[in-house]
Amino acid sequence: MTTFDDREHAFESKFAHDAEKQFKAEARCTKLLANWAAALLGKDLEAYTSELIAADFEEAGQDDVFRKLVADLAGKADEATIRAKMAECMAEAKAQIAAG
């Protein structure tokens, strides 16, 4: 194998690893958000987590989760609060993944 092939393989491996870490972080973030929202709504944590995870599969990214949270938390949290909580949960999720 040439040096170029080795580098190409290394870049492909890093890309796959980074994509996997991002997927895990988004999944963990969704669970953290569900925990927060379920407490605000007084809903069962398991049931609400399932609802939020189902909403997360509508499209790539977290916009679908945001829309569901905005609809569910109307009157309990505004959009800015939800965005701030999403950023906080993503940072916490990434830290948890990095810690192993």
What tens digit of pLDDT does each residue of 14-72 get?
777 777 888 889 889 999 999 999 999 999 999 999 999 888 777 777 888 999 999 99
For residue 77, pLDDT over 70 is answered with: yes
pLDDT of residue 11: 78
Least confident of 2-6, 49-53, 71-75, 93-97: 2-6
Label residue 84 by pLDDT band (50, 70, 90).
very high
**Neighbouring C-alpha atoms within 13 Å toward the C-beta of 86:** 19
Residues 84, 91: Cα–Cα separation, whole Å: 11
pLDDT of residue 55: 86
What is the average per-residue pLDDT within 1-15?
76
For residue 1, pLDDT over 70 is answered with: no
Phi-psi region of 75 (alpha: psi -120 to 50; beta: other; left: phi over 0): left
Nearest in space to 86 (alpha carbons), one of 78, 13, 21: 78
